[in-house]
Amino acid sequence: MPLPDAVSSGIDTLLDRTVAPGFTKVGSAVRRRLPTWPADPAPGALVGRTGLVTGASSGLGTATAEGLARLGARVVLVVRDAGKGAATARELERAVPGAQVSVATCDGSDLDDVRRFAEQLDVDGVERVDVLVHNAGAMPPQRTESAQGHEQTMALHVLGPVLMTDLLSPRMTGGRVVLVTSGGMYGQRLRADDPEYLQGEYSPTTAYARSKRAQVELLPVLLRRWSNKRIRVDATHPGWADTPGLDSSLPAFRRLTRPFLRDAEDGADTTVWLAGADPEETGRLWHDRRPRPTHLLPTTRTGDVERELMWEWVIKQTALSPS
């Protein structure tokens, strides 16, 4: 006898609030067996559409690109290393017969390179973008600056994605933007007073989580900015997934939790699902195909004033029009 929906939803919520089981492969395995688990996208849901995935040469990015390709999308792998991107493209073409995969280079933390990339898409013949997944991420072990002198995680996770989306927005009418964030952001509040992390002793995990918190807090602002294009803007967090980035950034955590870590496909599932199922609900943080709260602690809650201050900083650094 199937569980009543109320019980199923209660189990789902309990997994989410207790974090550890919900973020692991145990959480997704349990949720997939619940009657409230949303249906998969229809086969061929993205045929005739184009998806761009940043950081697509490994881990979650490669899994996301493969998921979009399996739904029929033409996929552009946006990578820093053209050689790695070409190797990934060949792997995807073997894994998904008939897949349309191309490679474009861009350093998402370098705002000048983001501008070049957006212009180059015209040359590459990408007239429309239906799905834009900002997956590229990094956690430098010490404070590092981008080409324009911005703290690296904030440049790569916030400034670059905002600028790229804004430049591509004319060809994204009715499309969907997904920011791949992290559950680590639950432990940090928005720091509009110190976006460059110039105060206090630098911590790579804190910097990473702060930038991911900024992604989530800016969702309503970004949704409003691109509303005239009917662009949906969401964030997903993959839970605890076993990726090359985790191994290089948090090796001790990976050793302790490896038996419970999700694989890359599981971590990318909700991002692919959002693109293929294309739910009307937007402006939300999603995990395991459900909208999730953006705060688990009262100390991380953000007011409108602080959010607008962060947005003003983003506008200033990217030189975008404030309107």
- State how far the Cα of 249 lies from the Cα of 220, in Å rounded to an integer: 30
- State how far the Cα of 177 lies from the Cα of 52, in Å rounded to an integer: 10
**Whole-number Cα distances in Å, 274 to 72, 122, 164, 185:** 15, 26, 20, 21
Which of 186, 197, 202, 208 is flagged as catalytic?
208
**Closest Cα partner for 135 from 7, 221, 264, 44?**
264
144-177 exposure pattern, b = at least 16 Cβ within 10 A, e = fewer: bebeeebbbbbbbbbbbbbbbbbbbbebbeebbb
DSSP states of 45-63: TTTT-EEEEETTTSHHHHH
CB atoms within 10 A of CB 183: 20
202 flagged as catalytic: no
- State how far the Cα of 66 lies from the Cα of 156, in Å rounded to an integer: 23
**Closest Cα partner for 98 from 76, 121, 79, 73?**
73
Q: Catalytic residue numbers?
A: 208
